[in-house]
Structure 1
């Protein structure tokens, strides 16, 4: 194991337990700023970690704009002192009333939400007007992932015009998430991202020509972050997420990103059910199970370990070195997908220079806090 992952005393760390290596986290934040050049161009997504303390570190580095996916995350950001929040999730049902409550609770916070359909736009405008409030709305664009959003074109222009003309709403710009761009080859990814940008910028230019304000373009994801960061356009706010903690999956998909995994899960052997089998206390309640079975995690100190079975509290691996391990032995595992992994833990243990220095709550792991 690399010395940067040294933990001098693990005897009081309950397993499975998520560990944040603070020095690596801070180094990732510095690299993120270096890559974009100016922290004012950043709007990192807090869904990766959901922790107040990481937001405080980002604020101290001049990263003042932030992105969230849930009202719990937005509330965590506001409570931590963030004054500019993009809730990148189209509001329907009770979330419209929650937006009203949020605006009442934090009137000094600039909250932008997203929309891609006239019906929720109408309902949101009615709710805000009835409360004597206004809220900023970004037009959510479909850049090719086909998950949410409206394709750039005349329908997008009409919907943006509707947002601008709806009492209670402020047309606040465009949201262009391109999570489909997972090309491992940087040049291929750059071509795909530039095509997205060309479509978005043409729409922006058309809206401006028609007299509509487009004060910001909230653009990109972790993989496209360096490409959007290289585009010289003052309206772009780039939105990295995973690189704050980094993980196995993004390390493999985007080898050009020079970030280091800063989060691991401490796990212990609980059984040796066969000559080549080791069972860890690392079930899918402790580490994300959305990747394929063989790719759930990586053990730096047991690189040949192949996960073959996972249940709620168990992970069974096959390894030629299985005989070296006995119940109680410890390993660190790097999640393949860290964002849902962090949501599985109520709190994390924070380590710096080998010492346990703190414990941080994963404050926004739930869908609801108070709003």
Structure 2
């Protein structure tokens, strides 16, 4: 008897579409693979932007991972609610977000929260708010290592800013943060060579700090594409995120990281458009649509399917003649980009060994939970 394809769901007729589905045994395997990919799991600081759930956070905690990274106050609060020991808000709070961040710190005292800064204005605003609240905020100086989005170039101005933080009351400088999301070449050697230049710049800045009598900074570097580069080194905290669910985009691009795809979007045929096309209920609001049309979703049980058009609630697929699909048939899609896809759903259906075993709230997809 043929082994059942991993993604098939026994009670699929009970599941409305479109639906986001997580596969527990594959997530468990991915957590174990992550742990085995680094010699010291205390160097892991996974990003929660991919899954946004308390349940996965608790599984990572149970696996011995104690440091996490996030990008929103809601994600940070989800981590606080989960009693995570160490959380970096990899964002520079501004305006009302500073007050929310201070409130977060006071509301969840079991969690040590920190954030990013890249300029004197933000430093002074955060420090003043912390002093007024009677607390000290941990900060990392955010370096621009080529992403050209936020951060300060790892040169003299970064050195001066770091020195300013050490002298400012209300804040405590913890280290340097370098996100290199611009490095996503399929060739591992190209990624490794580009990362080497970043590491050299960070090393020079670190040496300058130490020469000035400042304690050696903690270094947090990279995301998923360069994770294998930094994981081989010593004393650098690594922040992969996509590993937990993986997706078709990273599966195709980074073959040296053989994590299991652990999430699908389930959709149904709702119309036989013509002799060779069908329409399914998987629109812009159900799968990340930032990529070109033909690079948004890959169907595991309709590998020949090619997207023709997409609107808010519909996706038209070219399947060719005699495709055999009928109204109501289920298609299982691998998102090309899982992170923004997860954020489109209020909950995920959990499947273990082909059976539906629960439903998890994507709790931090919202901009606000309580704070």
TM-score of the alignment, normalized to the shorter chain, above 0.5: yes
2:132 alignment counterpart = 130
Deviations 1:279-328 (A, max 9, x none): 11001111100111001100011111111211111011111156411110
Contact residue 23 and residue 263 of structure 2 kept, 8 A:
yes
2:272 alignment counterpart = 272
Deviations 1:63-86 (A, max 9, x none): 110000000000001101201000
Contact residue 21 and residue 351 of structure 2 kept, 8 A:
yes
Within 1, Cα distance between the matches of 2:330 and 2:226?
36
Tell me the TM-score normalised to structure 1 length.
0.97
Contact residue 100 and residue 127 of structure 1 kept, 8 A:
yes
Contact residue 114 and residue 139 of structure 1 kept, 8 A:
yes
Q: CA deviation at 1:264?
A: 0.2
Within 1, Cα distance between the matches of 2:156 and 2:241?
31
Contact residue 114 and residue 139 of structure 2 kept, 8 A:
yes
Matched, 1:286 2:286: yes
1:73 alignment counterpart = 75
Within 2, Cα distance between the matches of 1:32 and 1:174?
23
Within 2, Cα distance between the matches of 1:322 and 1:277?
10
SS at match of 1:274: coil
Q: CA deviation at 1:37?
A: 2.4
Within 1, Cα distance between the matches of 2:308 and 2:323?
17
Deviations 1:198-242 (A, max 9, x none): 11122122112212234411111100001000012x2x1100011
1:342 alignment counterpart = 342
SS at match of 1:298: strand
2:302 alignment counterpart = 302
Within 2, Cα distance between the matches of 1:322 and 1:81?
54
Within 2, Cα distance between the matches of 1:109 and 1:323?
54
Deviating beyond 6 angstroms after TM superposition, the runs of 4 or more aligned structure 1 residues are none
Contact residue 283 and residue 312 of structure 1 kept, 8 A:
yes
How many residue pairs align between the two structures? 369
Within 2, Cα distance between the matches of 1:95 and 1:45?
20
Contact residue 278 and residue 322 of structure 1 kept, 8 A:
no
Q: CA deviation at 1:278?
A: 1.0
Q: CA deviation at 1:123?
A: 0.6
Residues 264/30 of structure 1: CA separation in 2 closer, same or farther (3 Å cut): same
Within 1, Cα distance between the matches of 2:165 and 2:321?
61
Within 2, Cα distance between the matches of 1:201 and 1:252?
32
2:174 alignment counterpart = 172
Within 2, Cα distance between the matches of 1:157 and 1:2?
57
Gaps of 5+ in 2: none
Contact residue 6 and residue 353 of structure 1 kept, 8 A:
no
1:104 alignment counterpart = 106
